[in-house]
Structure 1
Amino acid sequence: MKLRKSSAVVAAATTAVAMAVTVPAFAAVPPNLDDLVATVSTDAVMDHLQEFQDIADANDGNRAAGEPGYEASLAYVESTLSDAGYEVERQAFSFPFEQVISSSLELDGEAVPETDAISMAYSPSTDGPITAGLAKAIDEANQGCEPTDYDASAEGAFVVVSRGTCAFAQKSESAGVAGAVGVIVYNNEAGILNGTYGSPTDAQIPGYGTTPEFGASLLEQLETAELTMDHDALVEVRDTWNLLAETPEGREDNVVVAGAHLDGVLEGAGINDNASGSAVLLETALQLRENPEIINNKVRFAFWGAEENGLLGSTHYVNDLAANDPAALENMVGYLNFDMVASPNYSVGVYDADESTYTAPVEVPEGSIQIESLFTDNFDADGQPWVDSEFSGRSDYQAFIDNGVAAGGIFSGADGSKTAEEVEMFGGTEGIPYDPNYHSPEDDIDNVSTEALDIFIPSIAEAIFTLAYDSSTVNGKYPVEEPTPTPMPTESAPSPTESAPSPTESTPPSSEPTESPSEESSESPSTAPSSSSSTDTDGDRPPLADTGAASVVIPGLLAGAALIGGGYALSRRRQ
């Protein structure tokens, strides 16, 4: 891995270059960074993943929040970090737990496929099949957000309404007050509506989300069609925990937070999603603890609960700080998020904080661009292709950025489809998901990519070790002064009587350049578009951001070639 030096000499050089380019200084790095990064091995991470698989196997095949498999996973991480000397804390919180036993929808006796309609998360059970006719809102502009949007036809019917204006839970409760037995909410954009009520209340009625086409077909058959809904689900409030582990060393007013959600879905062991991020974080924490001399800034490792239920653990943590200890948020350098880093058909995605590919649908806090550069500079230095992933907030960094904390992360892909361009960059199979086993029983130890881990592990370790040592490139605080190199003695110029060529002599040109171009300045740009999704505020489940289109790696443009040759990386990506 190529180390980058602080560009302390850049300022004088840039004044002589007629270009409007800003070149921020790099953070200082620990003097033994390469050796430190190498201690975080793929073999050790795979050992942790095997522990998580064994835990799932012993606990009904899952590690979901509110289930024994999650508590066993938490206990494993807790004991491992405590034994290593970390100050470990469990943070308890309550959350709405849901387990769907069975769910089906029929239209005039014909089963509706899940590609057309799917039950709302936290929908109450129907207590057996319900068959009824259809109704719609009389105030279509308000889209079923108030009971007065319906007339008497809603009594005893399934109401059909468009997504929009208010949360799905409010549509459900309003339809229930109007006397409906169920609510069908059709999407107002392409694709199926995979929605959630957010949390259960006694006022809600059973609901499904559908595609725009299925919703339109129901409205066309409003007077004649019948639906049968049969939804059996366990919905209740349960307790769970986040786990926080902090280095004893480091400044308390300059804290680096790195996190990964520890829970999985009920359907499987959740080894890629997200034992992979948790295992890399755990092993990085263990190796950092072995090297306390580099810890100038305190590092807090967070293992979140109930992410799969709607980012609940990380949101609880941040909201609690905002209410009771706002100074702790102000003292954060930033938050690094690692959610899925071993996808079998992987991409190498970096959260696009500088919006070079995607306009972020959320506010991007100051310092996030610099965190992005920690990852992209590392990949560029190693010649590793990467692509932008939308800075959408659709993972555990959402609550942090909502409170102005800088954030970033890397991501190997979930259920988005891999493009031909990405196959060129990373290998794999075009047109299938980055993780074909996403949220399924097949997300197990046999279906993670060690090749992806070999790429992601060093990048994660380097970012955490670097910020533990020096965070000034992100927040400008406490820069580490690197020693000034001792100048090398120079040889005396030859005297006129020595072997220097005379002005009249011609010196034949050399067949070799006097100085090789730097590795960074010779990189070729590469692009690879890939899919992303927009952010909703009306109750969508928050899926992970799909890997985005590749950014273009801009080689160094400054004319001061001598400075580059002197060992200073002057170029920054997309300046």
Structure 2
Amino acid sequence: MRPLSLRATPLRVLALSAVGLAMACSAPSSPPPPTPATPAPTATAAPTPDATLPDRLVAEVTGDGAFRHLEELQRIADANSGNRALATPGYDASVEYVARTLRDAGYTVETPEFPARSFSAQEVRLTVDGALTASSVLSFSPATPAGGITAPLAVLTQDETSGCEAADFANVPAGAVVLARRGGCPFGVKSANAGAARAAAVLVANNQDGPLDQATLGDVANVLPTVGLSKADGDALAGRAGVAVNLVLATTIEDRTSRNVVAQTTTGNPDNVVMAGAHLDSVQAGPGINDNGSGTAALLETAVRLGGAPAVANAVRFAFWGAEEEGLIGSTQYVAGLSDADRQKISLYLNLDMVGSPNAGYLAYDGDNSDNEGAGPGPEGSATVERVLLERLATTGVTGEGTDFDGRSDYGPFIAAGIPAGGLFTGAEEIKTPEQAQRWGGTAGQPYDRCYHQACDRIDGIDRTALDRNTDAVAGTIGRFALSTDGIPA
């Protein structure tokens, strides 16, 4: 799962992009993405759709089967510097393993390349009135000049949309370091607005307790050096306008290439495609076995059991995305490269990102916005996707609940393109509530995954019961839609 760039951001924020999509991570400075290779089904005799497919598929997929794929991803990471991140041998080996497994199962498979950027930070130091202050760099922040930036602090209005509009910077002196509050729009928008106002750097304070970690500016032009602060430090600084601030950032941004893996059945109507995806890359810090080896493994187990030539009415397409951790780049480039005709052939998109969290929740993306939290509903048909996923979770013995479409995973570009979407999620750094612990087990007051984006995200942390349940749920859902997309607009 990608860092926190778009949490609780209305979907309308996702409506603009330099590649014709609604994502802050699209790269306006990059050349137009290549048209993705959509596998062309090999001509075969069309079998009569098998009405028993959903239940049969659930009976055949197993958590143990998914876990075997996780073991291979762990082995790949261990053999390649401990990770499977963008432009690393570990990621390339992951691509080859997934592609080979799908080809062996009878799928038409492509591994299209796309351009992507990588980010690393060598030094982060913030000093306020001579005192060091804890801060974290936002991914894709430019570096400061040698010696850093020293300037007075300018404090924006600390409301829910702080820094989201050019008018917010009307009284900011040129060359100031700006303090904004998280919320209302992507971090990249806040930083670019500060740049347009001729500020020198940006501090973004969290709007909830704790530090602002794992955040990103995305692929947004004209951003400034930008770091995050905890809510407490932001509250303290909000009353100190004019104080001297020094910010030192040493960062590196490099142009790379990566690959997606895209596979399609040779049977089923290729003009009505049921699509499911999971990101294949990890962060640099660790092997990414829950994030997102778990989603990859559950989807790969389902694909293998379904087979490349199943008795279905609709074609089924599986995608394993690259560079998700750098800002949803693989899925964004894929959707951006689709022609209008090919985009309209995708009936719906299912997303799996983190489905084996050690303190697992059972969450399905809130397609109808019935929870009335954060972003609005998905495109028409997303409510049907959510309902089917929750029904399938219920057959495993758990009652799931909704979770916001907050833009942090690969459903984002599909929603922005008007494609109905949904997916399953067992939680990342968020805290499990007492009510959830009573309903699902686990520990209240603790993160769903304490190893999120860390070196300890290894196979021994996987909740195998959650992995099994989510594999069953996605298999039954794919089986259902492979037979009929009733409830999804044409």
Q: TM-score, normalised by structure 1?
A: 0.69
Written as runs of structure 1 = structure 2, the 5 A alignment for 1:346-495 is 346-359=360-373, 361-475=375-489
Mapped to 2, the partners of 1:148 and 1:269 lie a distance apart of: 41
| Equivalent residue letter for 1:76 | Y
Mapped to 2, the partners of 1:250 and 1:340 lie a distance apart of: 29
Residue in structure 2 matching 1:199, options 219, 224, 228 = 219
Asked if residue 101 in structure 1 is aligned to residue 132 in structure 2, the reply is no
CA positional deviation for 1:170: 6.0
| Equivalent residue letter for 1:358 | N
Written as runs of structure 1 = structure 2, the 5 A alignment for 1:171-250 is 172=191, 181-186=200-205, 195-199=215-219, 204-211=223-230, 213-223=232-242, 225-250=243-268
Superimposed CA distance per residue, residues 493-518 of structure 1 (whole angstroms, 9 cap, x where no aligned partner) = xxxxxxxxxxxxxxxxxxxxxxxxxx
**Larger RCO of the pair (alpha carbons < 8 Å, separation 6+):** 2
Superimposed CA distance per residue, residues 321-354 of structure 1 (whole angstroms, 9 cap, x where no aligned partner) = 1xxx212222222111111110000011122223
Mapped to 2, the partners of 1:178 and 1:371 lie a distance apart of: 43
Aligned to 2:280: 262
Q: TM-score, normalised by structure 2?
A: 0.80
Aligned to 1:124: 142
Asked if residue 339 in structure 1 is aligned to residue 360 in structure 2, the reply is no
2:413 is paired with a residue whose SS is helix
Aligned to 2:330: 313
| Equivalent residue letter for 1:352 | D
Pair 327,378 (structure 1): closer, same or farther in 2 beyond 3 Å: same
Mapped to 2, the partners of 1:383 and 1:167 lie a distance apart of: 37
Asked if residue 289 in structure 1 is aligned to residue 310 in structure 2, the reply is no
Percent of aligned pairs sharing the same letter: 39
Higher mean alpha-carbon deviation, 339-348 vs 359-368, is at: 359-368
CA positional deviation for 1:394: 3.3
Is the Cα contact below 8 Å between 1:146 and 1:174 reproduced in 2? no
Aligned to 1:278: 296
Is the Cα contact below 8 Å between 1:343 and 1:412 reproduced in 2? yes
Mapped to 1, the partners of 2:85 and 2:273 lie a distance apart of: 29
CA positional deviation for 1:254: 1.1
| Equivalent residue letter for 2:467 | L
| Equivalent residue letter for 1:136 | A
Mapped to 2, the partners of 1:54 and 1:390 lie a distance apart of: 33
Mapped to 1, the partners of 2:114 and 2:275 lie a distance apart of: 20
Aligned to 1:301: 318
Is the Cα contact below 8 Å between 1:243 and 1:304 reproduced in 2? yes
Is the Cα contact below 8 Å between 1:187 and 1:210 reproduced in 2? yes
The total of aligned residue pairs comes to: 438
Q: Which runs of 5+ in 1 are unaligned?
A: 1-27, 478-575
| Equivalent residue letter for 1:31 | T
Mapped to 1, the partners of 2:163 and 2:72 lie a distance apart of: 51
| Equivalent residue letter for 2:124 | S
CA positional deviation for 1:31: 2.3
Mapped to 2, the partners of 1:85 and 1:73 lie a distance apart of: 19
Written as runs of structure 1 = structure 2, the 5 A alignment for 1:512-523 is none
Mapped to 1, the partners of 2:163 and 2:300 lie a distance apart of: 49
Aligned to 1:54: 75
Structure possessing the higher radius of gyration over alpha carbons: 1
Superimposed CA distance per residue, residues 366-385 of structure 1 (whole angstroms, 9 cap, x where no aligned partner) = 22222222222223344422
Mapped to 2, the partners of 1:228 and 1:78 lie a distance apart of: 49
Aligned to 1:543: none
Is the Cα contact below 8 Å between 2:200 and 2:225 reproduced in 1? yes
Is the Cα contact below 8 Å between 2:264 and 2:315 reproduced in 1? yes
1:313 is paired with a residue whose SS is helix
Mapped to 2, the partners of 1:187 and 1:339 lie a distance apart of: 24
CA positional deviation for 1:131: 6.0
1:303 is paired with a residue whose SS is strand
Mapped to 1, the partners of 2:285 and 2:200 lie a distance apart of: 29
Superimposed CA distance per residue, residues 410-466 of structure 1 (whole angstroms, 9 cap, x where no aligned partner) = 111111111112112211111000111111111011111111112111111111122
Superimposed CA distance per residue, residues 211-267 of structure 1 (whole angstroms, 9 cap, x where no aligned partner) = 4553453354444x4333332222122111221101111111111001111111111
Aligned to 1:41: 62
Mapped to 2, the partners of 1:420 and 1:166 lie a distance apart of: 30
